[in-house]
Each structure stands twice: as C-alpha cells, then as structure tokens.
C-alpha cells in the first residue's frame, strides 16, 4: 500500500464507498447499479451518500431483476463502461448465474481475448447473525471454481478500499465479496476488525496477493474475511498455551497466492485452513491440495480443515454456532495439530 500523508479510521463500508466515490470522480465511465443502492445507500452500506452526490444517472436503483441488470452490466462493460453492480446477498446468485458464469466469465476467453468485460460485481457474504440458509452463505468456492473471473474477498477496511479501486481499474470481471459482519454497520455485532486506518487518497492493493497478518513459527492458519478475524483471536489464545501461530489472510481466491502459503508451511510445518464455506470441494480442499502437491515434505502433521460441515446454514442460535468455525474451535484444532 502507498504511504500517505493522511489516513483516518474508517469502517469497512465507508472504505468501500470512498473507493467507489474516488473512482467515480476520476473516471466518468464508472457507475453503480443494484437493488436499494440509491437513497437507501445499499443494504450493507456499500453506496451510502453516492446517490446524493452523483444522482440517479450514475447510481441506479434496479428492479428485482438480477438476470437483467447483471447482464446489462456485462453489456455496458463490453461497450467500454466500467460498471459496478451489486448482488445484494451472494445467496441470490441462483437467479442470475447464467449471466455471471456463461457470459461474464467466458466472453473474454471465447472471443480469443478480443472482448473485454471490465466490471465489478460486489456482493455481501457471511453468516453468524441468524439469517438462516438463504442469507448466510459465503459461496467462496462456488465462484472461485469457475474460470474467467477474479474472486476477491478483502477482510479489513484498508484492503476493502485498495482492492475495490484495483477491481474497478482491472480490465477483467471481478467479484468483490464483502463480509456483512466486517462492514462496521451499526446494527450488527461491533467488531474491532471492522474499523481500521485507511489512507485518504486513492491507492490500489493488488488482486491475488495474500497478507500475513500475524507471523509465527509453530502452525500456519489460513483464513479469509471473518475466519481471518477469528484466527487472529485464536492466535492470541494459542500464545497463552505457548503456541506461536502464523495467520494468513488470503484476501483473494482467484488468483490464489499459493507461494505465500507454501513458504509459510515450509517454516511452520503445520497447516490449518479455516473456511466459512461448505467443507467439501471447497477452498480448504484447494489449499490442502496445493500443499500436498508442492509442500508435502514440509509437513510434520496431516493438514487440518475447519469449515461448515456439509449442511445448509441453520437458523437457530445453537445450530448456527455449531456449524460455524470460531476462535475457540480454531485454537482447539491448532493445538491438536501442534501436539500431534
């Protein structure tokens, strides 16, 4: 990140808004559309204040017609515009996935690289607040599995801003997932991680690079978004037990920063992957496979995974707590791994 004269404490959502605002000022081709992005300012605060500043020609409230407006963003992008389109909850992908993965993700390739689709699809992910099976998923791997789109999921406010700007300037389609619990919204759990220092002027954080958020020697814990936050808390608990954990915040699923993970495992010899997504066929498997293929001889213990057991996310508190990884479960798994 660029060093800057001025930075302030911002929430995740304010950091995102600032990124979009600065890019809209810089580039008249940038515009936003989605449900309730206008006066309401985005259900998760991703566009607060932008309607007042830019008006309805650049901040477009849409009908509840995701196929039409996400498809329209693709078409506008192909015409040289730089749309940012919001899918309110990632869980709603089902009604518009054809546009996303048969159009948006494949056009560049199918055209032999002759057609560019520079758009950002931003979408809210994550559970932990009892919103049940249709409003709590992350679906990281569902998108990361399909070639042709970059899939990023910044955790902290400074990355939200820098990666949003990078995504807008990127000539490829980017899915930018933001975690509801890390937006710093007044009506959710208040987490320290959802507020952070953010430089005022525009800057980019490259897509596809992870960040080591805590250095350690005994075990590598890989997480993303809320799981990174939980892993950092777990690392504090582990420290008390005499275990020195390294925590990697993945930040990006596609491209995936395999080198940083392999380098870390070469140092710690143990790997725990934590994922707020379904376990099977997911991100945790991809990372485990990466280490099995290229770092197997560095391991002193089998790879461990913590993810949502393969069931939809239940509503009731004790049930949801049971399926979601948290700091205690991470610490316990890491201890078991180190004491193996």
Catalytic (active-site) positions: 135
35 binds ligand TPP (CB under 6 A): yes
- Structure letter (DSSP) for residue 313: P
Q: Can residue 141 be called a binding residue for ligand TPP (CB under 6 A)? A: no
DSSP 26-89: H-TTEEEEETT-STT--TTSSSTTHHHHH-TTTEEE--S-HHHHHHHHHHHHHTT-EEEEEEEE
323 contact, one of another protein, ligand TPP, none, CB 5-8 Å limit per kind:
another protein
User: Per CB under 6 A, does 64 bind ligand TPP?
Assistant: yes
Nearer to another protein, 31 or 203 (CB): 31
Q: Does 2 bind ligand TPP (CB under 6 A)?
A: no
241 scored as a contact of ligand TPP (CB under 6 A): no
Closer of 91 and 276 to another protein (Cβ)? 91
Long-range contacts of 92-98 (CB under 8 A, 24+ apart): 92/66, 93/123, 93/139, 93/142, 93/143, 95/66, 95/67, 96/66, 96/67, 96/70, 96/71, 98/67
**Is 32 or 213 the residue whose CB approaches ligand TPP more closely?**
32
- Among 8, 9, 27, 65, which residue sits at the site for another protein (rule: CB under 8 A)? 65
Minimum CB separation of residue 97 from another protein in Å reads 12
Within residues 21-50, the interface with another protein by CB under 8 A covers 35-36, 38-40, 43
Q: Which stretch binds another protein (CB under 8 A): 19-27, 92-100, 273-281, 283-291?
A: 92-100
Element (H, E) at 321: helix 317-323
Residues 71-130 that bind ligand TPP (CB under 6 A): 88, 92, 95
Q: What are phi and psi of 56, to 5 degrees?
A: -75, -10
Return the number of the residue (177 or 250) whose C-beta is nearest ligand TPP.
Answer: 177
Structure tokens belonging to residue 108: 């560049």
134-173: which residues touch another protein (CB under 8 A)?
134-135
Question: 66 vs 277, which CB is nearer to ligand TPP?
Answer: 66
Query: Residue-wise over 99-132: b if at least 16 C-beta within 10 A, else e?
Result: bbbebbbbbbeeeeeeeebbbbbbbbbbbbeebb
> Pick from ligand TPP, another protein, none: which does 297 bind, CB < 5 to 8 A by kind?
none
Q: Which stretch binds another protein (CB under 8 A): 242-250, 285-293, 311-319, 331-339?
A: 311-319
Question: In this structure, what token pair is assigned to residue 78?
Answer: 């192909």
Positive or negative: CA dihedral 47, 48, 53, 55? positive
Instruction: Say what angle helices 12-26 and 157-169 make with each other, to 10 degrees.
Output: 30
Closest distance to another protein from the beta carbon of 51 (Å)? 10
Q: Which of the choices ligand TPP, another protein, none does residue 320 contact, using the CB cut-off of 5 to 8 A by kind?
A: another protein
**Where along the sequence are the contacts to another protein (CB under 8 A)?**
35-36, 38-40, 43, 61-68, 91-92, 94-95, 128-135, 186-189, 309-312, 314-323
**Where along the sequence are the contacts to ligand TPP (CB under 6 A)?**
35, 64, 66, 88, 92, 95
């Amino acid at each position: 990140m660029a060093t800057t004269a001025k930075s302030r404490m911002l929430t995740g959502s304010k950091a995102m808004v600032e990124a979009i605002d600065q890019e809209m000022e810089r580039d008249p081709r940038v515009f936003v559309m989605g449900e309730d992005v206008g006066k309401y300012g985005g259900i998760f605060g991703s566009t607060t204040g932008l309607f007042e500043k830019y008006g309805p020609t650049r901040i477009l409230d849409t009908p509840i017609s995701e196929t039409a407006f996400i498809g329209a963003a693709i078409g506008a992008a192909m015409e040289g515009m730089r749309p940012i389109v919001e899918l309110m909850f990632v869980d709603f992908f089902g009604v518009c996935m054809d546009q996303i993965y048969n159009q948006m993700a494949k056009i560049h390739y199918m055209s032999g690289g002759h057609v560019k689709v520079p758009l950002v699809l931003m979408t809210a992910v994550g559970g932990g607040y009892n919103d049940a099976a249709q409003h709590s998923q992350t679906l990281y791997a569902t998108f990361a599995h399909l070639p042709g789109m970059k899939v990023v999921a910044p955790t902290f406010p400074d990355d939200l801003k820098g990666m949003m700007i990078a995504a807008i300037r990127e000539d490829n389609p980017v899915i930018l997932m933001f975690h509801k619990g890390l937006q710093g919204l007044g009506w959710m759990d208040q987490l320290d991680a959802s507020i952070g220092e953010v430089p005022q002027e525009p800057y980019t954080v490259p897509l596809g690079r992870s960040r080591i958020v805590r250095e350690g020697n005994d075990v590598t814990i890989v997480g993303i978004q809320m799981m990174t936050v939980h892993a950092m808390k777990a690392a504090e608990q582990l420290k008390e037990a005499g275990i020195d954990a390294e925590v990697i915040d993945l930040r990006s699923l596609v491209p995936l920063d395999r080198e940083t993970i392999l380098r870390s495992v070469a140092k710690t010899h143990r790997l725990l992957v934590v994922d707020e997504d379904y376990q099977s066929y997911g991100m945790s498997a991809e990372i485990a496979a990466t280490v099995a293929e290229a770092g197997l001889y560095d391991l002193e213990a089998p790879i461990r995974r913590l993810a949502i057991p393969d069931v939809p996310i239940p509503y009731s508190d004790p049930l949801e707590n049971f399926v979601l990884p948290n700091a205690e479960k991470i610490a316990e798994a890491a201890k078991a791994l180190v004491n193996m």
